[in-house]
Structure 1
Amino acid sequence: MNNHFQGQSFLKEIDFTPAELTYLIDFASHLKALKAQHIPHPYLQGKNIALLFEKTSTRTRSAFTVAANDLGAHPEFLGKNDIQFGTKESVVDTAKVLGSMYDGIEFRGFKQATVEDLAQYSGVPVWNGLTDDWHPTQILADFLTLKEHFGHLKGLTLAYVGDGRNNMANSLLVAGAMLGINMAIGAPAALQPDAHVTALAQQYAQAAGSTVVITADPQQAVAQADALYTDVWVSMGEQVDYGARIKQLLPFQINADLLAATSKATTIVMHCLPALHDHQTDLGAKLGEQYQLAAFEITDDVFQSKQSVVFEEAANRMPAIKAVMAATLGDLFIPDSIFA
């Protein structure tokens, strides 16, 4: 017996095998059930966790904090203005210092290279809470939500529409293919996934017996989809012409018409949040008035509909993150037969 996860970092989906990702999703489901039944599960009693944030956060920060507390660990939030990281101290030096005091490190920020360096030089498990390239803890929550809803993952069809080059599109495409989900990305040609990401997904899809479709036709992308997924049209820190981006992506907005185009009454709607679905935010109001639009990547009627699972998905960030931390840091007994 050897714990596949102990001491490992989770920097991107392909750090683990499809069987290991499946285990983490199922373990998250188990931990969620334990919490619902008020059964303590302090796998990380006495551990200290550093939460290193370059980018702002609602779900990731809350999920890591609550998950660490539930597991008996002590989380410490280190915001970009709280420590010397990046301004007066290098990533490598920071990694060595944090690794000497903490048992695990979460990082949410811009460059994938930063989280890779933290893992290389800290000597402790490092977890990617989002970079510009990948968002692996979000994916576990997404697939936990899908599995809860449909009872299985293999053979489902998931269509992502919008900016096909962002971290969510990358993570969904690759991890979905790994788990045997038929993946479709609907995006204009200029915003389709990088060739190396698509090639990686196709390689996994071939092994899993699933399909990968990349198309500039929104109707084709969503045909027969069990789940429609979208994300904001402009990523955090991205400098773009909003007007041009909106014009590019408006045909890919998840609205009643696009939802109907799946031809399935059972299709669910997903979004990693935050979403510009109304004018109840400063940004939504400002852009909405400027471009005369009630909503952007998803309309409010669909966002609030019975087919939307966005808040279940958001809540599932916590057990998904808890599973990753417990598996990599908790000295769990996991029989090899699970991965055979």
Structure 2
Amino acid sequence: MAETPTTPEPSGQVSDAVKGNWVDSYAPAPTRPYLRLSRADRPIGTWLLFLPCMMGLLLSMLNDNVVTWHDAWTVVGCGMGAFLMRGAGCTWNDITDREFDGKVERTKSRPIPSGQVTVTGAVIWMATQAVLGLFILLTFYPNAIVLGFIAVIPVLIYPFAKRFTWWPQLFLGIAFNWGALLAWTAHSNSLQWPAVVLYLSGITWTLFYDTIYAHQDKEDDALIGVRSTARLFAENTPRWLLIFLIATLCLMAFAVIGSTIHRSPISMAVALVGVWAMGWHLHWQLKNLDTENYEVLVKLFRSNRDAGLIPLLFFAGALFL
């Protein structure tokens, strides 16, 4: 039996938010329900949206060996865009899932089912974030703007995936890793095959970490008829996670080779070491997996921020070699 989250604080804190997070501690009281709706009190999702962007940007820079001030703005723009569009996507998710969330122990304290925010207020908040994100997108190259508009499609579909497929984590991966394609194109104004391979590696990485995450809710999901890879894999989860781990590393290594093939062998080697080091982190997660322990599941899921930062450091170092 998985350990259940602690009861939310009377202040309205969401049950699975880190105690003492900046939203609950410092944000003005009237803004807190909306920031919670955007998951600003749980920043791991913003990191997992931002990291594929940076991987795409750095590999694109390695590919053409061009670094400009526009790339600095791309970093800032992707950071702000990840925050805003993750917030808009989470708001959309909570609007569509409001009936389900009220029946799940971990999610019933979220702003809509707990009554902190009305559906109308959530729609207005979602639109506000999306418009701000659009302003940032319009500062990028034309082809990147086109990709940004296409990205809306998987975001809109994702909340409904759990209703018709056992693989909603696949749909999350399609949506969450789009930044790898967009940031590559934001640098070069063209999309090349290593970016697509990197994108695929991001999808398998998402299948890895979000299957871990989904094990938190598997019992409630079974009761209300919601599907997930955690329920599908059940006791075979470690075997499937190993498959996703291997696929992630192989695809990312292929993307690195394609991006650095015209650079020095040392540059390619350094970038590949980053992939290898990320693999060790994913292996550590798999080794410590306990699908019946809530605290372990949360810890492993959140550790994927560090897993994604590892190859970024090596990709950045390879730029100078």
**Normalising to structure 1: TM-score of the pair?**
0.28
**Normalising to structure 2: TM-score of the pair?**
0.29
Which one has the bigger helix percentage? 2
Which one has the bigger strand percentage? 1
